[in-house]
Structure 1
Amino acid sequence: MCPISFTKPIRKPKRGSVKMRAILVGCGRAGAELAARLAAAGHAVTVIDIAAEAFDNLPANFLGHVIQAEALNQDVLVNAGVQEADCLAALTNSDALNAVVGHIARTVYNVPRVVVRTYDPRWAPVHAAFELESVNSVQWNATRFEELMLTPDLVTLQPLGGGEIALYELAVPAAWAGRRLEELAQEPEVVIAGVSRGDVSLLPAADWVLEAGDRVALSTTAAGAARLRARLDQGA
Structure 2
Amino acid sequence: MKVIVVGGGKVGYYLSKTLLAHGHQPHIIEVNKKICANLAEHLELPVVNGDGTTLEGLSEAEAETADALVSVTGRDEDNLIACQLAKRHFSVPKTVARVNNPRNLEVMKALGVDIPISSTDNIARLLEREVDTSRIRQLLALNRGEASIIELLVPKNYALDGITLSELRLPQDCVICTITRDDVLLIPRGNTTILSGDRILVIAKDTIIHDLTKMLRLE
- In structure 2, the gaps of 5 or more residues are 127-139, 150-170, 178-203, 206-219
* Aligned equivalents of 1:63, 1:106: Cα separation in 2: 27
Kindly name which structure, 1 or 2, has the bigger radius of gyration based on alpha carbons.
Answer: 1
Q: Which residue of 2 aligns with 1:130?
A: 111
Partners of 1:29 and 1:57 within 8 A in 2: no
The answer to whether the aligner puts 1:23 opposite 2:1 as a matched pair is no
Aligned to 2:77, the other structure's residue is in SS state: helix
Aligned to 2:90, the other structure's residue is in SS state: coil
The answer to whether the aligner puts 1:88 opposite 2:63 as a matched pair is no
- In structure 1, the gaps of 5 or more residues are 1-19, 142-156, 159-164, 170-191, 194-198, 206-216, 219-236
Do the aligned partners of residues 168 and 27 (structure 1) sit closer, same or farther apart at CA in structure 2, a change above 3 Å counting?
A: same
Q: Which residue of 1 aligns with 2:142?
A: 167
Aligned letter for 2:142?
L
- Which TM-score applies when normalising by structure 2? 0.54
Do the aligned partners of residues 56 and 79 (structure 1) sit closer, same or farther apart at CA in structure 2, a change above 3 Å counting?
A: closer
The answer to whether the aligner puts 1:45 opposite 2:26 as a matched pair is yes
Do the aligned partners of residues 200 and 87 (structure 1) sit closer, same or farther apart at CA in structure 2, a change above 3 Å counting?
A: closer
Partners of 2:54 and 2:85 within 8 A in 1: no
Aligned to 2:84, the other structure's residue is in SS state: helix
User: Mapping of 1:145-160 within 5 angstroms?
Assistant: none
- Which of residues 35, 51, 65 in structure 2 aligns to 1:70? 51
The answer to whether the aligner puts 1:112 opposite 2:87 as a matched pair is no
Partners of 2:5 and 2:71 within 8 A in 1: yes
Partners of 2:69 and 2:95 within 8 A in 1: yes
Partners of 1:36 and 1:58 within 8 A in 2: no
Do the aligned partners of residues 58 and 129 (structure 1) sit closer, same or farther apart at CA in structure 2, a change above 3 Å counting?
A: same
Per-residue deviation at 1:54?
2.4
Do the aligned partners of residues 40 and 128 (structure 1) sit closer, same or farther apart at CA in structure 2, a change above 3 Å counting?
A: same
Per-residue deviation at 1:59?
7.9
Partners of 1:117 and 1:134 within 8 A in 2: yes
* Aligned equivalents of 1:166, 1:100: Cα separation in 2: 29
What RMSD, in angstroms, separates the aligned Cα atoms of the two structures? Answer: 3.6
Partners of 2:105 and 2:117 within 8 A in 1: no
Partners of 1:28 and 1:57 within 8 A in 2: no
* Aligned equivalents of 1:72, 1:33: Cα separation in 2: 21
* Aligned equivalents of 1:115, 1:109: Cα separation in 2: 15
Do the aligned partners of residues 57 and 168 (structure 1) sit closer, same or farther apart at CA in structure 2, a change above 3 Å counting?
A: farther
Among all aligned residue pairs of Structure 1 and Structure 2, give the percentage whose two residues are the same amino acid. Answer: 27
- Which of residues 99, 102, 107 in structure 1 aligns to 2:83? 102
Do the aligned partners of residues 56 and 203 (structure 1) sit closer, same or farther apart at CA in structure 2, a change above 3 Å counting?
A: same
Aligned to 1:108, the other structure's residue is in SS state: helix
Give structure 1 regions of 4+ aligned residues with deviation exceeding 6 angstroms: none
- Which TM-score applies when normalising by structure 1? 0.50
Aligned to 1:71, the other structure's residue is in SS state: coil
Aligned letter for 2:43?
F
Per-residue deviation at 1:37?
1.9
